[in-house]
Structure formats: structure tokens, C-alpha cells
Amino acid sequence: MNAQIHRLRDGPYGDSLAPDVDAVSSWDEFRELPLTTATDVNRAVAAAPVPSDLATISYTALDGTELPVHDTLADEQYMAAINAKYFQQAGFRPGDRVLNCFPYTATGGGEVFEKGLRALGAEVVPASDATASTLQTLLSDHLDGLCGPPSTVLAMEEDVSSGVDIFLGAGEPFTGIPGRRSKVKERLGAETAVDYFGTRHAQPIAVESAAEDGLMVCDDYVLVEIVDHNIGQTLPAGTYGEVVITHLHKTGTPLFRCRTGDVARLTRRDGNPCLPDSIVGSRDESVRVSDRTVYKAGLRNELLRFEGPSGDFEVETHGDSSYSVVYEGADHGEDILGALEATQPVAPTTVRAVDD
């Protein structure tokens, strides 16, 4: 982290994106540094000279703000190597023929996936503009894998008879939506379907392995924190909050403790940081309870773990800085309350089921 701080301060952005310190001595000290936003990044990039070793410029959104993404040659090479590593852990192999359905446009996301797959040694078939019917035709041509938005696959009217071995989904909520993984696998006849979380500014942030057991943070590329977006406080492990990311190896458009607007929870598995439920929604859908935040996406995700609840619910706030959850569907009583107490930054005092 200290190497990244000096990299930022010595680069074209000066102290506009780096904290006003020479080094941090502990993670507690790091978490006291100010959070940044996409607007802060946009302002810094606009005021800075273009990096002398700039390789690509693309434009995309971060937390609702459009801003450029500058990649130096070193950035591109490191990102390709990191993606190749996690693609292999996800189940792709050298020599695979992979259909890439991510867009090759000004956002540049499709090119990043292609460079990572080629760094792995896979053959890439670009198909960013393929319609659902064209995609179905392409998938019958002895392909080993597919990368693309899950909605692209679900838009096909029929299952693919020949199937592919592996699907990697990104660009929209995927495994954070209960049942979506199984629907995609059935449509493609795929043995494996894995989730990938990244923004064009940090691609990747977290990727699933072929075990399909949650997004493992790419901690050789980014640092991930979960914060209460209203007060900026880092939340305890296992609770839902806003994802904040810091690059560890980036010179063009680096992010430092930058808010993403996405909601997830962070745990550890075998000592490694993990987003076990993927991205479940946006921080915009939240309720303030006293000085804390209730993330409705996190509430919904926990309700849908149980058989019966439809996912429709209301948050009732009380005058004593507490709240209750009233949900539609079968009554699971104390079990749901216990799940919410374990995963919410501030737990409800009661939960109540009502008829459909």
C-alpha cells in the first residue's frame, strides 16, 4: 500500500488522488484516510497531464459518474496477467475457444477480457454485437467457453444442445440473484458458471473459482473494504455495506479508497478475502436508522435464502432508532431474525410475515 501511495504522489496526479501522508503504519491508520468518489477521480484526471506512457483511453461509469480510464502499458500488462490467473482458477485452460460477448466499444471491457484470455493462451472469438439468435448459432460451433452478461444468455429462447464447458458472467448482478446461476447453466448446458466482479477502472476486483463458492477478492490487484456509506466507517466482517476499492498496482486513473455504490459483504475463506454472495444491489436502495444504514439489498438477499419469502418486504422504522422487517411469504420467525442479526450493520428488532 505504501508503494502505491508513493506511486500516486510521484505520478501525473500528484497529491490529488493520494492521501496527504508519506506512509501508513497499520490498517487502522489506513482506514482513517478519507474516502474518495468518482467525482474526485474525474476532477483529478481532468486536471492532470496525460501519462507519458499512456496505452489506451476508454470511458465508462463509476457510481453513476462518467469518467475516462487511462491505462499505461504497464497497467495493461499487469491487468492481463492478473485476469489470466483468475480465468485459469475459474476453469479456463490454454487452447480453449472462448466466445467473448462483452462490448468492444469506448468502455473497453471486451478488450480487457480478450487480453486476459489470450495471456492465458486461449483462443478468443469476439461476439459483442451478437443477437440472441446469432449467439445460439455461434454456440453450436464447438466452443469451450463463453464470457458475457448473464442476461445475454437468458435472452436466448432455447437451450443450447451442444453446450459449453464454462460460462463467466459479469457486467450485471449474477450469482447474487438466487437461482440465476442454475438458469444460465441449464440454458447453456454448461458444467460450470462463475461470477466475475469488476469495474472498467479495476478489472477484476473479485472472481469465483471453478468450485462456484463465492467471489475471491483479487488481493494482488486491489484492496476491498466494506463501509457504511453514510458515516464512512469500515464495517465488521460478514455485514453488508458499500464496496470501496483501492488499487495496489495502477498508474493510470488509480482509485484510492474509492466508493463504488455496490453492496456486498466481506468474509474470509482459508485466510483469503471473499465476497460470498457476490454483489447484491446498490447502496441507493437503503434506509437510514439513526446514524446507521440498513441496506435493503442485503435484507432481500437474506430473505431469499429461505423457502417461502417472495422477496417483497417493507422496513418499518420506529422512533427509538430501531426498525422492523415485514415480509411477504411463509413465516420462518426467529430463523430469519437470526440471519439478519448476523449480516446487517444494524439488525431489526422484529421480523413479521404477512400473507401473499
Residue 9 resides in a domain: no
Q: What is the DSSP string of 205-262?
A: EEEE-TT---EEE-TTTEEEEEE-TTT-PBPPTT-EEEEEEEESS--SS--SSEEEEE
331 found inside a domain = yes
245: pLDDT confidence band, cut at 50, 70 and 90? very high
Residue that terminates a domain, selected from 215, 234, 265: 215
Do 299 and 188 share a structural domain? Answer: no
Average pLDDT over residues 174-194: 91
- Does residue 217 or residue 5 have the better pLDDT? 217
What's residue 30's pLDDT?
93
pLDDT of residue 162: 73
Of 291 and 166, the structure prediction assigns the larger pLDDT to: 166
Per the CB < 8 A criterion, the answer to whether 188 and 167 are in contact is yes
Which domain CATH number covers 304? 3.30.300.30
Mean pLDDT of 305-309: 86
Residue 201 shares a structural domain with residue 294: no
Q: Identify the pLDDT of residue 56.
A: 87
Q: Which helix (H) or strand (E) holds 279?
A: none
- What was the pLDDT predicted at 264? 94
Instruction: Give residue-wise pLDDT tens across range 15-40.
Output: 788 788 888 999 999 999 999 999 99
Other beta carbons less than 10 A from residue 180's beta carbon? 21
44-81 pLDDT tens trace: 888 888 888 888 888 888 888 888 899 999 999 999 99
- What is the pLDDT at residue 46? 86
Domain hosting 156: range is 74-215
Shared domain for 83 and 181, answered yes or no, is yes
Same domain, 207 and 333: no
Q: Which of 215, 233, 266 is the last residue of a domain?
A: 215
Query: Where a domain ends, among 174, 196, 215?
Result: 215
pLDDT of residue 327: 93
**For the chain, what is the mean pLDDT?**
90
CA–CA distance, 189 with 183 (Å, rounded to integer): 10
Is 315 in the same domain as 183? no
Size of the chain in residues: 356
What average pLDDT score do residues 198-211 get? 94
Give residue 356's pLDDT band: very low, low, confident or very high (50, 70, 90). low
pLDDT band per the 50, 70, 90 thresholds, residue 352: very high
Question: Which position has the higher pLDDT, 140 or 172?
Answer: 172
Does some domain include residue 229?
Answer: no
CATH of the domain at 121: 3.40.50.12780
Same domain, 84 and 202: yes
Is residue 123 one of the residues assigned to a domain?
Answer: yes
Torsion of CA 224, 226, 228, 232, to 10 degrees: -30
> Would you state the pLDDT for residue 355?
82
For residues 178 and 298, membership in a common domain is answered with no
Domain count for the chain: 2
What is the residue type of 228?
D
Residue 8's pLDDT is what? 83
Same domain, yes or no: 209 and 319:
no
Residue 308 lies in a domain: yes
pLDDT at 90: 96
Q: What is the pLDDT of residue 185?
A: 94
Confidence tier at 156 by pLDDT (50, 70, 90): confident
Pair 191, 94 in one domain: yes
Is 103 or 132 the better-scoring residue by pLDDT? 103
